[in-house]
Chains A and B, each alone.
Chain A
Amino acid sequence: MKGIRKRLLAVLFAFCMVLPLFAACGKETGEYDESGNVRLDIANLYLNDLGDAYTGYVEDKFSVRISPKVYSWADWDSQVTSAVNGDNIPDVFHWNLESMVYPTLERWAKGGSLRAIPDDMSAYPNIKKVLDSATAIDKMKVDGKLYCIPLMYDINKPEMGYSSFTYVYRKDWAKALAEKNPSEYGDLYKEDDVYTFSEFERLLAAFDKEDMAGSNKTIPLADVEWAFPSVINYFKDAPHAYVLNEQTGKFEWNYTTANFTQGLEKAKSFVEKGYYWADSYAANEGDAMNKYKSGVVGCYFDNFTLTNYSELRKSFSSSNPSVDLDEGTALMRLKRDDGKFVYEEANNWWSATLFSADISDVQMNKYFEIMDWLLSEEGTMFATYGFEGTDYTVKEDGSIELHWSKTADGEYANKLIGAKYLRYSICLNQDITSNDPLIDDGTKAAHAAWIADIEKQIEDNQVKLLPLYSDMNWLSLPNKNANANLVNLASDAIIKYVFGDGGWSEFNESNRSKYEAVVNEINTALGL
């Protein structure tokens, strides 16, 4: 393989030595290394310790040398922003694009920091498929040009239109309560995991009263840090700052509506009753999940992609070996009091890959070639399992026989397939996680059953989808742009309020002029 690679490189190198005589060879400096490979700087959240054989194979296959840069979750946005402001942008980079930050994308594009994607992507059919099926794709364009590729959750399932948020809970605790005191708790054990909000509240009270973790360590309820306080979801009508009033037909400030206020007061009461984890106020990223893993939390809210769910189960199992794993990490199906399950409507992508204005034609096309291959059937198999014949074989019946190393316990050991992390640059790999050998069948089955239930609930019109309001959220308007941080300020104020440290009405009053200006602007722009 390597001999062929060197010959190809020699030819490519010789070609590039001649090319500048006839035409500009793209970016003036640094486009090729001394061996004639195309240099490519890629920065994203997911790149791992590249240098593995799988990244090496991709590099050889495409005559490219990839310099990875890994963003950290904690300061991802500031790393990207400072790179753009400092004109020090990697060739390809990853940014938390969402509707609220569209004005920034617009400013960067118009300011000449970004390079647009070619209008015709037919040479890269797998990428084209992503672009053709990504929701809100037209809304992220600037002056008719697309400057990013959204990272789709599952390229084979573009119709997915909801976020996978819910609670995992200690079904084993619920069962123990029901067995201990059938008259009081008998109805709190649910074989099908379906709870009304009232039952949910009683369950939290029971976990607390009976101190299910023992030694007064029980935490009935905890949320992933960014979602606190999640219980409001089961009352409010829109996910963020603005909600469409069905009666007036106009947008209004969501945070002062009756339903939101009811949810907020419920959250506050859960804090006061001691249901919510007291340290939620100052928790760091991952703290709440770690509490659940340790076995002291009754219900825990998060975005349960298969990967997240698997991670939680593995750690929980390790810390709580005597607990039945399916019962210790059951996925709750929780209804609002109006009888509807509730989920947030969502795009079929999250975040996006962007390109420096300085990226050359050669580099950009090379990136597209690599990603198009990684999305192909061959590339997908490679990113999932590794080298055919070495890491896996396909049996006559089409099933996969894996040859990965196993630990002393007989489990497959982690395998760092860098190609998988490169693939994250263009999609979120949910199409391949269901085949991930490191996720056990029990986890896959439990998660698949829950997803199937959600889709059935949606089909049966049993779901309240908190609307995405794409038409409104992607608007770029002066007041809306200037006050984009209101939603963050509101989140901080909510946390303070539910912990008794700040006035909620004071917050709303002090920001009234701002949100009213935004709301008026939105309604005018939309002709409402």
Chain B
Amino acid sequence: MKKLVCVFLAVLTAAMLFGCSAKTEEGTVRFEQVVNENVQGLGVEWDAYEHPDVITDEKWERATAYMDKLSPAYIRCVINLDWVVTNWNKGASEDVSDDTWEYNWEQSSIRNMFKILDHCQKSGIRVGLGVWRPVDGWDMQDSSDVRFAKIMADIAEELIVSRGYSCIFGLFLTNEPNYLPGNDFQKWSTGVKNTAAELAARGLSDKVSIIGPDATSYSAAITWCEDTVKNVKEHIGNYSIHMYVSDYSVDSGRFAEDIRDVVNTIEKEDKDFDKKGLIIWESGLLDGKDPEWDTNVLIDTFGFGVRMADYTMQAIMGGASGVSFWEFDDAMHFLENGQMKQYGMFSSLGTAAQQELRPWFQSSYLLTRLFAPQSKVYGCSLNSEKDTTLRALASVSSDGKTGGYCVVNRGYEEAEETFYLPQKVQGEKLYVYIFGEKDMKLGADGFIVPNYELDGSLNGTLTLKIPAGSAVFVTNTKY
């Protein structure tokens, strides 16, 4: 009680300065309902660069500094097989098992992949490694080809055993197999079985598993996960889907229901789901997408960051164990005409303005810290109300040392709510970050800093004013 009074007084004082005020318990929003106990943290797409030669040392250092700040729990890193597989020779017989090939680990994009892996190994970032397609330009059309399984296992053995990249925990066998021309579940799942057998033969089964199905869109996520869990679940270490969704899905709260549908589809058939988890390995928004340039014209706006925060919260509410943001750096991917795609948190290339961190890096950084691996996540009554412009989740680490909550207000009016987190969390200081166009505060290093600090605990009540079009984070540690 004494502590509560302390917090109350502190908040009251702060409110005079910063717009916070204390409220009685009546009308308080309580983070009581556990909505997710299987959080594996958040991640980001960090692919091998298609043109690494133009990424200077200075640009690379800056990119890795941003990665350090973002501190994702994992990354997805995807490569083209024809970067690494070379000198393909058709065998003497028609049996493709007689074919031979070699590996070129010196190709420039592959060398770039090693730099990414080095960084992740050093920083404790887990890596899901994948290939975009089977092999471009060769006669191997889909992942059911026995040669594909051998190649995938060879790569895993080289990287994990020979080169010691223990950060690699999973393999993606082609990207978005539901969109891959000529592919179907039968072919993809044959590839899963073949690759699992090859990994087992090399004694790698306990070191790396297959991540899948990696299908994209709600309908495909349901059908491919259903087929996967019924047919090859024993080979899957982590379930994967991609979700690029309309603003409407996020704004209406439907996205959480969609993710819940996918989770239910898997959960009912795989008793190990809690351990394996479902990660949305590519996450993004459709509104603003220019299909011609594979660019999102809203990527520079705060609205994009606020909505991606809401997206992330709904994914966790729906039972996903993680979200991997698409994507880290624009400069990783180019169109055939040489135009750089723009879906990243910044651009190592491009104009000076494009090289600056985009707003959604800052919100993603806060989210990554808040929803750290092994956190327990709590929902509140705001999330089931008809007004879907406000959403809030709290997160507490397994040891109770760190925690906080995030409140998103996508509405046009400032909101005021009083929050209370019953779950015990240590700490006597609170840090309030406001991610919004008018309110975000950046430090000298260009990263978001708290708008203000308060004496008090997350276990006390706190009345917050949440500006329109913003996400407010309250934490017990300074990020």
Contacts and interface: CB of A to CB of B under 8 A. Distances in A.
A523 B248 CA distance: 59
Contact of B289 (A54, A404, A411, A414): A414
Interface string A379-420: 000000011001100000000000011111001011110000
B160 to A, nearest CB: 34
Contacts of B257: 2
Given A53-B254, A390-B251, A416-B287, A407 B297 contact: yes
Nearest to A51: B217
A53 to B, nearest CB: 4
Given A390-B251, A407-B297, A414-B288, A49 B217 contact: yes
A335 B244 CA distance: 50
A317 to B, nearest CB: 15
B297 A2 contact: no
Interface in A32-79: 33-34, 48-54, 56, 59, 65-67
A56 B287 CA distance: 15
Interface string B274-291: 000000000000111111
B288 A51 contact: no
Contacts of B251: 390
Contacts of A387: 248
Contact of A407 (B220, B289, B298): B298
B248 A390 contact: yes
B301 interface: yes
A203 B122 CA distance: 66
B248 A386 contact: yes
Contact of A53 (B219, B220, B248, B291): B248
Nearest to A391: B248
A65 B221 CA distance: 13
Interface in B219-263: 219-220, 223, 226, 244-249, 251-252, 254, 257
A53 B253 CA distance: 11
B466 to A, nearest CB: 20
B291 A405 contact: no
Interface string A1-35: 11000000000000000000000000000000110
A56 B288 contact: no
Given A413-B288, A415-B287, A405 B254 contact: no
Which applies to chain A's interface (DSSP): helix, strand, loop or mixed?
loop
A441 B5 CA distance: 60
Contacts of A407: 288, 297-298, 300-301
A416 B252 contact: no
B244 A51 contact: yes
Contacts of B220: 51
B216 interface: yes
B84 to A, nearest CB: 28
B246 A50 contact: no
B246 A416 contact: yes
B446 to A, nearest CB: 18
B289 A416 contact: yes
A51 B290 contact: no
Interface residues of B, number: 28
Contacts of B290: 414
A293 to B, nearest CB: 12
Contacts of B217: 49-51
Which applies to chain B's interface (DSSP): helix, strand, loop or mixed?
mixed
Given A51-B219, A53-B246, A53-B248, A408 B301 contact: yes
Contacts of B216: 51
Interface in B287-337: 287-291, 297-298, 300-301, 303
**Of A33, A406, A407, which is in contact with the most chain B CB atoms at under 10 Å from its CB?**
A407
A49 B291 contact: yes
Contacts of A413: 287-288, 297-298
B298 A2 contact: no
Contact of A416 (B223, B254, B286, B303): B286
B297 A52 contact: no
Contacts of A2: 254, 257
B248 A51 contact: no
A314 to B, nearest CB: 10
Contacts of B223: 33
A29 to B, nearest CB: 15
Nearest to B287: A415
Nearest to A37: B219
B286 A49 contact: yes
Contacts of A408: 300-301
A519 to B, nearest CB: 43
Contacts of A1: 254
B219 A65 contact: yes
A54 B219 CA distance: 13
A125 to B, nearest CB: 29
A414 B246 contact: no
Contacts of A34: 226
B227 to A, nearest CB: 11
Closest 9 CB pairs of A and B: A51-B217, A53-B246, A53-B248, A413-B288, A416-B286, A53-B249, A52-B246, A408-B300, A413-B298
Interface of B: 216-220, 223, 226, 244-249, 251-252, 254, 257, 286-291, 297-298, 300-301, 303
25 contacts: A2-B254, A51-B218, A51-B244, A52-B246, A52-B249, A53-B246, A53-B248, A53-B252, A53-B254, A54-B246, A56-B249, A59-B219, A387-B248, A405-B247, A406-B301, A407-B301, A411-B297, A413-B287, A413-B288, A413-B298, A414-B287, A414-B289, A415-B288, A416-B246, A416-B286
Given A56-B218, A405-B247, A405-B288, 9 more contacts: A51-B216, A51-B219, A52-B245, A53-B248, A53-B252, A391-B248, A405-B298, A413-B298, A416-B289
